[in-house]
Amino acid sequence: MSTSTSSSSRSHFSASASASASAPTAASFAPPPPRDAVITGHPSNNVPESVYEKMGSNLHRRPDHPICIIKEAIYEYFDALEAAGKSFKKFDDLPCVVPATSNFDAVLVPKDHVSRSPNDTYYVDDATVLRCHTSAHQLDSLRGGERAFLVTGDVYRRDSIDASHYPCLPPDGRREGVRALRVPKLRRSFL
């Protein structure tokens, strides 16, 4: 199964620009961003060492891991749509450190929403966060010309640990698909 990668360049938080023609090996997994780029001396930084240590685990890219198996099954479904002219680009290595504007403003999270609180989000500094959801890549992808794509990746939330919450969420449910339709096509699809 082939996965596409981002070719954009966003400092040391960039995704790899090379595309993989087969399942990645452990050696090909992108390493996490440098520690000093995530755990900084900035007064707003609230990323603990325990969360940084989980970055780069790439469970969704390990061929024998259940999360990867599920991801590949989803990719196979969308690959089958290509015969009908519905091609989706796949991203599974986008950076987990994103601008706060991409994580919140670009997906219309209100300025006073609780998720913006340092109690709920890991801040690298005032303008940069560990993504809380893969939707943080939607606007940049659309602006970059993508019209149909799937995004998979780890997300990070400052949750209290209990039976259903953990601060680093592997992409077991953290994937999404986007397809932008032209207005005439959109009207036809609702008729």
Which domains are delineated in the chain? 11-189 (3.30.930.10)
User: Residue-wise pLDDT tens for the chain (191 aa)?
Assistant: 444 433 333 333 333 333 333 444 444 566 789 999 999 999 999 999 989 988 888 888 889 988 899 999 999 999 998 878 889 999 988 999 999 999 999 999 999 999 999 999 999 999 999 999 999 999 999 999 999 999 998 889 887 666 766 656 654 446 889 998 877 765 665 54
The Cα 40–Cα 190 span in angstroms is: 49
This prediction's pTM:
0.77
Phi-psi region of 67 (alpha: psi -120 to 50; beta: other; left: phi over 0): alpha
DSSP code for 20: B
